[in-house]
Amino acid sequence: MKVTKERAIKFVKKEVGDCYPTNPPYVFKESIIETNFCWIIYYQSKKCVLENDESKRYFGNSPYMIDKFDGEVCQIGFTFRPICRDIEYLIFKRKKGV
């Protein structure tokens, strides 16, 4: 079953929300990247975004990459490499059956 945008968003909200139950995430829907293979979802603390409370900001958070075909989830590490490298790796894995 192909993972929809809505399902990918729900996963990120649950995954991050479980870590921060008193400060749930806000997903930047306008910034979601869709490729043929995955969704890239960016988020930040809801209190930081909606209440403009910088003291509630998540630090070191990085986007999630969710495979559209098998639902595999990968939190893209905080690096200085372009995000396209992570997408290329996902495509490589898909083609090689890794």
Element (H, E) at 43: strand 43-45
What's residue 94's pLDDT?
65
Q: At residue 80, does pLDDT exceed 60?
A: no
What's residue 51's pLDDT?
94
Strands 43-45 and 33-34: unpaired
Tell me, yes or no, if the pTM score tops 0.75: yes
pLDDT in tens, 63-79: 898 989 888 888 876 65
Q: At residue 30, does pLDDT exceed 90?
A: yes
User: If DSSP codes are grouped into helix, strand and coil, which group holds residue 83?
Assistant: helix
